[in-house]
Amino acid sequence: MKAALLIQNVQNDFLEKGSLPVKGAHDIIGPINKIRNEYASRFTTVFTTQQFRQETHISFKDSPYASEENLPFDEITLAVKGKFPRHCVQGTDGANFAPEMQLKGDEVLIRLDEDKFKEEMSAFQNSLLGEILNTNQIKMIFITGLTLDFCVGLTAIDSAKKGFETYVIKDATKPLGDQSGEAMIKNFEKNNVKFITLAEFDEIIKKAEEIKKEEEKVEPSQTAMEEEKKMSESKPEEKPAEEKPPEEKPAEEKPPEEKPAEEKPAEEKPPEEKPAEEKPAGE
């Protein structure tokens, strides 16, 4: 079974010295690096998300739009409008990934929150994630990063709702708040998201690899059968040769029958004139 790894928002502003610090954020970097390096070959694709906000993003306390009421905000945006200090602003060090992260450069980058009027917590709000997962026929997703009670949690629930086998690795995530973190874990149970340890991850990913190998054995034969089927379908059906009726020989032309010559009635000859008898002279 094909699997993907998603690393969410391990950015400087969420570390202990950042503008929106998450308690224990540094502690998850080691487990994420371990997963990224030791299990790299097990993942079809690795994604990283990055919050990339404008200075006036609506979620900021000092945003001029924080008191705006007339825009058509979605439910999540309304819930966080004017709630947070500035964080992960484009062009600042706070938006950069933590320097301790051992990224390889081949990860698919998904940027979120570029629209100043919209809060994008779930990575699925960027359509690129779903498109790549579906195109590559990936069925299993392992999610790590920050924060458990917001971006990580909402992404996981969206993933499960979309039919993916979804796991959040507890050693590789932390919540912004303890109570909201506990509430999110309860939501996982309701939405078929599995909250697992790193040790459990190891067992699950190995089983997934075995399944993937079995699927790869089956695929060539299925492909061959499909190709054969396509070829047979593409061949035009041979129609049985139509039996031609025996050729009719042209009727031999008989010479026209000679009609017997019509007998013309014999022409009547005029009676021969007898010469006048000469009378003897001097009588």
Task: Give pLDDT, residue 128.
Answer: 95
Tens-digit pLDDT profile for residues 92-132: 999 999 999 999 999 999 999 999 999 999 999 999 999 99
Residues 48-63: what's their mean pLDDT? 98
> Element (H or E) spanning 149, and its range?
none
Quick check: is 35 in a domain?
yes
Quick check: is 64 in a domain?
no
Quick check: is 63 in a domain?
no
In the structure, what pLDDT confidence band is assigned to residue 282 with cuts at 50, 70 and 90?
A: very low
C-beta of residue 19 within 8 angstroms of C-beta of residue 87: yes
Give the range of the structural domain holding residue 170, as residue numbers without chain letter.
Answer: 3-51+95-217
The CATH number assigned to the domain holding 203 equals 3.40.50.850
Quick check: is 75 in a domain?
no
Quick check: is 78 in a domain?
no
In the structure, what pLDDT confidence band is assigned to residue 225 with cuts at 50, 70 and 90?
A: low
Is pLDDT above 90 for 278? no
Task: Give pLDDT, residue 251.
Answer: 56
Hey, what are 259's tokens? Answer: 């009609």
Is pLDDT above 80 for 236? no
Is pLDDT above 90 for 49? yes
Task: Give pLDDT, residue 134.
Answer: 97
266 vs 26, residue with greater confidence: 26
Our count of domains for the chain comes to 1
User: What three-state secondary structure class fits 167?
Assistant: strand
Quick check: is 189 in a domain?
yes
Is pLDDT above 60 for 262? no
Dihedral angle at the C-alpha atoms of 208, 210, 213, 218, nearest 10 degrees? -90
Quick check: is 192 in a domain?
yes
Quick check: is 74 in a domain?
no
Is pLDDT above 70 for 273? no
Tens-digit pLDDT profile for residues 146-197: 999 999 999 999 999 999 999 999 999 999 999 999 999 999 999 999 999 9
User: What three-state secondary structure class fits 245?
Assistant: coil
Percentage of the residues of the chain whose pLDDT score is greater than 90: 70
Handedness of CA 199, 201, 202, 207 (dihedral sign): positive
